[in-house]
Amino acid sequence: MKSMISREGTDSRSTRRGSVLIPALLAVLLTSGLCVCYLQLSLSKSRESQVSVDAKSAFYVAEAGLAEAYYGLARGMQGAVASESVPARFGNGVYWVTCEDLGDRVTLRSTGLTRKGRAAVSATLRKGTLSVASLGMYGNQSVDLRKGSRVDAYDSTVGPYESPKVASPGGGSALDARVGCNGSINLAGGSEYSPGATIVGDANPGPSGTVVIGMEAIVTGSTAPATQTTTLPTLHIELPEEEPLEPTAGTPVHLPAGSYAWSKMHLGPNSLVHITGPADVVLDELVLDHGSRLEIDGSLGAVEISVRSYVNMVAGSVFTTLSQGTDRASLLTSASLSVDRDRDGIADPPVTLAATGPFYGLIYAPRAPVVLPASFTVYGSVVADRITLGNNARLHFDRALLNSTVGGTLPEFLCWRVVELPPSRLVDFGFDPLTVLKVNSVVPVAPQDAHYVKGVAPDTSLRTWLAPVTEILW
């Protein structure tokens, strides 16, 4: 009996305890339901504002694409950047830029994608003109490289010049030199004991020109002809009526920063002229006799020497730069006529560069032939009507000059507008483009590596994206 009472008492307590569960469960359900509702509401609001943020981000990414394309155009590239198949990465988004060449104008169309944001903007620009220094070694009529001569490249923004290893023909190099011509390019051959001419980089003749490569001569890069001729800008050198400058031997002349003009600068034996930049020197004639020295110090600013009629630097003279900045010194001459100036019965060429270097900078003689001897090594670029690189002579093209705008003009914006999104699977997918690319094993390229050089057709094919993205995301 005792045990029965005890059981009854236990049953009663357990019944009472269980009944609490029901209201507790209801309360929990109610609270959970409310929480879920608020959470969903909050999420939908957050999503809505995220879409707005994404749209704005995509707009800025597209704008970044246009800016990159502009930079490319200014550097002489095509203007197209990356492609829909392999876009360029920018922050949390990607972009690609297509270009339509309209002769002297170009229309760029940039598509930017970030998360769910999509935007496309377009700009039409008038093409700029490049600095002649970016042409590298360029001859209007012809380029001749004699035995043992060599043209290669370096990048002064990375470091000083180091002799590159010559790769096998067609192998190419990360630091290709640029040799070009509106006519033909001739590389003299060598023999078993003496090497032929060497170009570590591209040699691109004019549209109807050819590259003649002798035995043992080497061109490591492209020899494809250019699609169009290049017009060299004309030099107009205005010279006021001035006295000549003829320093006396043994008395150095130091020209501080400023602008100077003389009818003639004639440096006799043992005379020295030192020019400190920034300076502009305008002359009608520049003559350096044997034993004279003309120094350019561009460490504080660029020095530009413009000569109208005659440049004569004989063997044994020194014409050199003290700084290694290739954008800090330039010799520009409009000389074109061969005249017998020393009255020996033989016409003197308009430009003679037989001096000793080295010279860091630009030599520009659009109407005269230029012969560079082995003693006059040039770091930078040489552009002339005809160029001959003498036996064992060296020219080291500075690829930093590819970005030079000195003497050139930048592309000019004509119009800008927001345009419709292009037909593209990547655009149509509502997913984060970086995820879509990752799923499809595509690594977006860096913008600076995504430019197209002129003459190369950009990849305009629309990719048929694989679409297991949904399965992965959801």
Number of residues located near another protein, criterion CB under 8 A: 29
Q: Which stretch binds another protein (CB under 8 A): 170-178, 275-283, 408-416, 460-468?
A: 408-416
Write down the least CB distance from residue 462 to another protein, Å. 22
49 lines the binding site for another protein (CB under 8 A): yes
HEC string of the chain equals CHHHHHHHHHHHHHHHHHHCHHHHHHHHHHHHHHHHHHHHHHHHHHHHHHHHHHHHHHHHHHHHHHHHHHHHHHCCCCCCECCCCCCEEECCEEEEEEEEECCCEEEEEEEEEECCEEEEEEEEEECCCCCHHHHCEEEEEEEEECCCCEEEEECCCCCCCCCCCCCCCCCCCCCCEEEEECCEEEECCCCCCCCCCEECEEEECCCCCCEEECCCCEECCCCCCCCCCCCCCCCCCCCCCCCCECCCCCCCEEECCEEEEEEEEEECCCCEEEEECCEEEEEEEEEECCCCEEEEECCCCCEEEEEEEEEEECCCCEEEECCCCCCCEEEEECCCCCECCCCCCCCECCEEECCECCEEEEEEEEEEEEEECCCCCEEEEEEEEEEEECCCCEEEEEHHHHHCCCCCCCCEEEEEEECCCCCCHHHHCCCCHHHHHHHCCCCCECHHHCECCCCCCCCCCCCCCCCCHHHHHC
Q: Can residue 207 be called a binding residue for another protein (CB under 8 A)?
A: no
Q: Judge whether 255 and 281 are in contact, CB under 8 Å.
A: yes
Name residues contacting another protein, limited to 112-151 (CB under 8 A): 123-124
Q: Does 12 bind another protein (CB under 8 A)?
A: yes
Looking at beta carbons only, is 23 or 250 nearer to another protein? 23
Binds another protein by CB under 8 A, chosen from 25, 28, 29, 34: 34
Structure tokens at 35: 């929480």
Residue 115 Cβ vs another protein, minimum distance, rounded to whole Å:
17
Q: Which of 106/305 has CB closer to another protein?
A: 106
- Residue 32 is a binding residue for another protein (CB under 8 A): no
Per-residue binding letters, 378-407, with another protein (x by CB under 8 A): ------------------------------
> Residues 442 to 461: which contact another protein by CB under 8 A?
none
Judging by DSSP bridges, how do beta strands 88-90 and 93-101 pair with one another? antiparallel
Question: Considering only residues 104, 238, 241, 449, which one is a binding residue for another protein as defined by CB under 8 A?
Answer: 104
50 binds another protein (CB under 8 A): no
Which of 60, 92, 105, 314 touches another protein by CB under 8 A?
105
Q: Specify whether the CB–CB gap between 125 and 71 falls below 8 A.
A: no
Question: Closest approach of Cβ 78 to another protein, in Å?
Answer: 17
Angstrom distance (rounded) from CA 177 to CA 116: 44
Q: Does 9 bind another protein (CB under 8 A)?
A: yes
Out of 32, 40, 52, 448, the only residue in the binding site for another protein (CB under 8 A) is 52
Q: Is 28 in the site for another protein (CB under 8 A)?
A: no
Rank residues 44 and 231 by Cβ distance to another protein and give the closer one: 44
Cα–Cα distance between 395 and 378 in angstroms, integer? 5
Binding mask 414-433 for another protein (x = CB under 8 A): xxxxx---------------
Piece of the chain touching another protein by CB under 8 A; list 54-62, 357-365, 440-448, 458-466: 54-62
Q: Which is nearer to another protein, 414 or 473 (CB)?
A: 414
| Nearest distance in Å: CB 263, another protein | 46
Residue 1 binds to another protein (criterion: CB under 8 A): yes
Inter-CA distances, 189 with 145, 181, 217, 436, Å: 9, 19, 5, 54
Of 100-108, 225-233, 235-243, 302-310, the window that binds another protein (rule: CB under 8 A) is 100-108
- C-beta of 62 vs 181, nearer to another protein: 62
> Please, what is the minimum distance in Å from the beta carbon of residue 75 to another protein?
22
Residue 100, amino acid? E
Q: Which is nearer to another protein, 107 or 392 (CB)?
A: 107
Count of C-beta atoms within a 10 Å radius of residue 370 = 23
Which of 36, 39, 47, 56 contacts another protein by CB under 8 A?
Answer: 56
Residue that has been written with the tokens 């029965």 in this structure = 4
Work out whether 5 is an interface residue with another protein (CB under 8 A).
yes
Between 104 and 192, CB nearer to another protein: 104
Residue 344 C-beta: closest distance to another protein, Å: 56
* Binding window for another protein (CB under 8 A); candidates: 40-48, 265-273, 282-290, 302-310: 40-48
Least distance from another protein to the Cβ atom of residue 454, Å:
18
| Nearest in space to 81 (alpha carbons), one of 108, 59, 58 | 108
Task: Give the interface with another protein as residue ranges (CB under 8 A).
Answer: 1, 5, 8-9, 12-13, 34, 38, 41, 45, 48-49, 52, 55-56, 59, 102-105, 107, 123-124, 413-418
